[in-house]
Amino acid sequence: MPFTEAKKILNDFIKTFPLYLNGPDRVKYILENIENIKPEDRHSLRNAVNRMLTSMIERDASDIEIGGYGNGGFIWMRIFGKKERIKEFPQFSYDEAATLIVNLLNSNQRKYISVTKNLDFSYSFLYERKNVDVRFRADAYFDLDTLTMNMRAINSTIRTFESYGFHPIVAKTLSHAYIKFGLTLITGITGSGKSTTLDAIIDTHNKIDPAHIVIIASPLEYVHKSNVSLIKHREVGRDVLTFKDGVIQSLRQDPDIIVIGEMRDPDTIMAALEVTDTGHKVFSTLHTSSAVESIDRIIAEIHPNEQERVRNRLADVLVAVISQKLVPSLDGKRVLAKEILIVTPSVKAAIKNNNTSEIYMMINQGAQQGMITMEQDLKRLYVEKKISLENAIAYANNKTRIQQILAAI
């Protein structure tokens, strides 16, 4: 790929560095002096990054890694779940990569990362082959005093709600037309497709439900265009200061559905429970791998003096938990495995009585209500010859249980 021009611009800029600069001071110099590069040269550097991102799209990669000690000078991508060096690209020194990263940031973002050492932001450019704007979620951070960045591709098309194959009761539970209030959690580790599921839920409402949807995210990923629903997007750090502020302020914005990108701290959790308690339908995410763990995590995040009250409130407002994983499939791609909890009166009682350990068996026996454990869904994928036996076991939350149900096949 033609990176010669970008390499020359980077080299000329790096020649201006004072000789005494070391480590993080070199990154600080880049942050403070990036605007000394001529505008047309900065445009060329952006084009170099855009060429990498274009290659990422065409390889069907989910993530790209630029810069940092750990990269060893290479550009890395995650392709169908596996990290790979992209040897077709030139190697970039720490200073070159840091300059490419800083060149993507505006002045406020440069000030922020110089203080906090971390920055979440979104980035977009025109993908010329299809003449569409493509968006990326980015995280810039430090790796042994060197600046590095992950960028994750945001799907330009939304997976259809129907493709999830939800049981009719689950589909009704998620629908604002059927249940006007309550908290639904979409959970899973990073990269498990939580945002994709949320977007599918928002999109299906946008087709049929004349509701007001407020999305609070950090950063915003897919941008929805209002159709039947009125949809507002609020990015934390740009449109609103914090998740908590966004949730509280939304009460004065006449919402029907509130989407909270992540319940990442006690303040956001408490605000989410309170806004749900006022009669709104709320969707949010957690970095947990099972329904029971999600309930326990929310309660554990709260001060012990408040846990009893939060446990009762959570039992009253929670309507469903969908925990998901992306499992390597036999065709070399990935397939979705999910655990679904519908909050029945028995589940409510278990939460209130602090007997969450009983909930797994309720899910296990709740097929008629649309419930399924992760192990049952992994078994289904294995029986359908979509995943290997090894991955069915590896991705199970309960190794003993998955071996028992696989042995019964």
* CATH code of residue 119: 3.30.450.90
Parallel, antiparallel, or unpaired: how do β-strands 281-286 and 76-79 relate? Answer: unpaired
Cβ neighbour number for residue 285 with a 10 Å cutoff: 23
Q: In what order do the strands lie in the sheet with 82-85?
A: 82-85, 76-79, 61-67, 146-154, 132-143, 118-127
Parallel, antiparallel, or unpaired: how do β-strands 76-79 and 61-67 relate? Answer: antiparallel
Please check whether residues 280 and 178 belong to one and the same domain.
Answer: yes
SS3 state at 260: strand
pLDDT at 37: 96
- Return the structure tokens found at 179: 């249940």
Q: How far is CA 187 from the centre of its chain?
A: 10
Return d(Cα 166, Cα 57) in angstroms, integer.
29
Please check whether residues 209 and 109 belong to one and the same domain.
Answer: no
Return d(Cα 67, Cα 113) in angstroms, integer.
15
Please check whether residues 307 and 360 belong to one and the same domain.
Answer: yes
Evaluate whether 109 touches 362 at the Cβ level (below 8 Å).
Answer: no
Q: Quote the number of domains for the chain.
A: 2
pLDDT at 206: 97
- Return the structure tokens found at 112: 């922020």
Identify the domain boundary among 154, 171, 200.
154
SS3 state at 99: helix
- Return the structure tokens found at 372: 């399924």
pLDDT at 158: 87
Please check whether residues 93 and 131 belong to one and the same domain.
Answer: yes
Please check whether residues 110 and 184 belong to one and the same domain.
Answer: no
**Which stretches of the chain score pLDDT less than 50?**
1
Please check whether residues 101 and 183 belong to one and the same domain.
Answer: no
Please check whether residues 281 and 338 belong to one and the same domain.
Answer: yes
Parallel, antiparallel, or unpaired: how do β-strands 182-187 and 318-328 relate? Answer: parallel
pLDDT at 222: 85
Please check whether residues 149 and 182 belong to one and the same domain.
Answer: no
Please check whether residues 374 and 264 belong to one and the same domain.
Answer: yes
Q: Characterize 335-352 residue by residue with b for buried, 16 or more Cβ atoms within 10 angstroms of its Cβ, and e for exposed.
A: bbbbbbbbbeeebeebbe
Domain of 308, CATH number, reads 3.40.50.300
pLDDT at 120: 87
Residue 85 domain boundaries: 4-154
Verdict on whether the full-model pTM lies above 0.75? yes
The pLDDT tens digits of the residues spanning 53-71 come to: 999 999 999 999 999 999 9
Evaluate whether 74 touches 93 at the Cβ level (below 8 Å).
Answer: no
Return d(Cα 80, Cα 182) in angstroms, integer.
35
Please check whether residues 129 and 182 belong to one and the same domain.
Answer: no
pLDDT at 236: 84
Parallel, antiparallel, or unpaired: how do β-strands 257-260 and 118-127 relate? Answer: unpaired
Q: Which helix (H) or strand (E) holds 317?
A: helix 307-317
- Return the structure tokens found at 226: 């209002």
pLDDT at 108: 84
- Return the structure tokens found at 31: 């942050």
List the one residue out of 373, 382, 380 whose CA is nearest residue 401.
373
pLDDT at 241: 83
Please check whether residues 168 and 284 belong to one and the same domain.
Answer: yes
Please check whether residues 300 and 237 belong to one and the same domain.
Answer: yes
Angle between helical axes of 94-102 and 24-33 (0-180°, round to 10):
40
Identify the domain boundary among 109, 130, 154.
154
Handedness of CA 191, 192, 195, 196 (dihedral sign): positive
Identify the domain boundary among 106, 132, 154.
154
